[in-house]
Structure 1
């Protein structure tokens, strides 16, 4: 009788813990290089925080000072936003405010600013990862602390393909390495995100010379269709959320104008460092993502 009571008690405790964990939803850390990089997957984040009872934090690596390409934004801010000297002076604060506007839409809980130099566009990540351009030891210590305290289920970053900005590649590689360094407890699942069209042909298997970026061959490309229509005459979709987020980045008026209401899918590649054992958890996560809120296919 005593054993039966103990067994029943354990069952109820486990059931309570399981339900409690589900009610809290997934915990996500976004690691990106620039303010506006999160526009690759804002609806996924919005659904996590607003409809799945989860949380999302964002770690921003650069100060955003290199984004001086806002021609129309010059009128809005009353400054020449295409001038490098003006950009270096004013963009770090302006773009932090824009990111926090974006974060309000997405439901970001905490922002972590690393303030590394957003120097210029290039493809080679080595000057940053080697410590020549960025304070790598500082970044690693701060990322390690954030991950240890946050106990995240997932890390979202950008797909580090060969044609990506070196800052994007570096931020993703550092996120992957931080996940690998974690000791004790369950490591977060790291996913590389990219906004694509439904008929996309983009493929990614890994970045040469960086084995941590290798994609698990047996894993599917996970996705959320943010343009899927629903409601009255199918005129509603989650694409509006992506547009709300993009509209926050006024200093990047050229890039955001080109990106507005484009990219139907938020796609995610599954890195091999996650191992096959977490594939089913990730499949379930995307199934729940699609069925939460206003269901999509």
Structure 2
């Protein structure tokens, strides 16, 4: 009888867990800890308001983020601006910071690929070609993740020309993984960004990488994060972005010059998506717009 009761409870618990998460299932593919600060509000709203799930695949180990760590060095009592110390300590520190930020946004799983975060440059070729990163390993990991989870959406950073070479490569790796995908539940892949000095609609493709072509005649999708709500209209969703950015104590330049500067998170469809991607994405953004707080509150 006790065994039967335990079985019934287990089935009931499983039912509660599986039915509680009825929202969108999202995989974010990024290069560095803190890249998700380019679009944190959509991730927060998906998990908190739409009851969806967000998993993060992180390609590099983050060891290259030792510039701008003067105050972070004081906080952690380590000379993180020294390249030797920074490269030794930052992979551990930045993973911890990212998981603290992920707790705010409601991330479920973290997949660490631990490729070397070598230095800032704009050229993706050394990474895509396998010269600097273990591309077969990255491809295998991404294939396994996509095969194991029925994701509805994949989100990457927009791989425009002025973007970090690591960021471009992460987007390319995600696009190529989707091209290889043979499952029945094909996710929609989006490029996301939030910058004041950028016009995502002007981007058509990253030269030399045809997989990055954007879908013609597909609309851009926007998430308004600057509209104020609540008593006295003093609060906006940008507060969430500040919470997330504040988790990265080792990255002092983020506090002064955060990636997150715009009033709208912007998302665009890559051409690899089929025609069903437009109505699927529109439905997602309709749900996001209607969920949570509004200017009328």
Question: Taking structure 2 as the reference length, what is the TM-score of the superposition?
Answer: 0.89
Map of 1:118 onto structure 2:
117
Matched, 1:61 2:59: yes
Cα distance in 1, alignment partners of residues 211 and 95 from structure 2: 30
- Aligned runs of 1:139-178 on 2, under 5 Å? 139-178=138-177
Distance 1:261 1:186, change over 3 A: closer
Map of 2:264 onto structure 1:
265
Matched, 1:195 2:194: yes
Cα distance in 2, alignment partners of residues 214 and 261 from structure 1: 24
Contact 2:194 2:260 in 1 (8 A): no
- Aligned runs of 1:219-230 on 2, under 5 Å? 219-230=218-229
Contact 2:122 2:165 in 1 (8 A): yes
Map of 1:7 onto structure 2:
none
Map of 1:39 onto structure 2:
37
Cα distance in 2, alignment partners of residues 35 and 275 from structure 1: 30
* Deviation for aligned residue 1:258: 1.6
- Aligned runs of 1:279-294 on 2, under 5 Å? 279-294=278-293
- Aligned runs of 1:196-215 on 2, under 5 Å? 196-197=195-196, 201-202=199-200, 203-215=202-214
Cα distance in 2, alignment partners of residues 168 and 72 from structure 1: 26
Contact 2:147 2:183 in 1 (8 A): no
Contact 2:27 2:57 in 1 (8 A): yes
Q: Give 4+ residue runs of structure 1 displaced > 4 Å after superposition.
A: 20-23
Cα distance in 1, alignment partners of residues 287 and 251 from structure 2: 33
Question: Taking structure 1 as the reference length, what is the TM-score of the superposition?
Answer: 0.89
Distance 1:54 1:126, change over 3 A: same
Distance 1:189 1:251, change over 3 A: same
Cα distance in 1, alignment partners of residues 164 and 101 from structure 2: 21
Distance 1:22 1:181, change over 3 A: farther
* Deviation for aligned residue 1:200: 5.4
- Aligned runs of 1:94-133 on 2, under 5 Å? 94-133=93-132
* Deviation for aligned residue 1:269: 1.4
Distance 1:26 1:73, change over 3 A: same
Give structure 1 stretches of 5+ with no counterpart.
Answer: 1-19
Contact 2:194 2:259 in 1 (8 A): no
CA RMSD of aligned residues (A): 1.8
Matched, 1:88 2:87: yes
* Deviation for aligned residue 1:266: 1.0
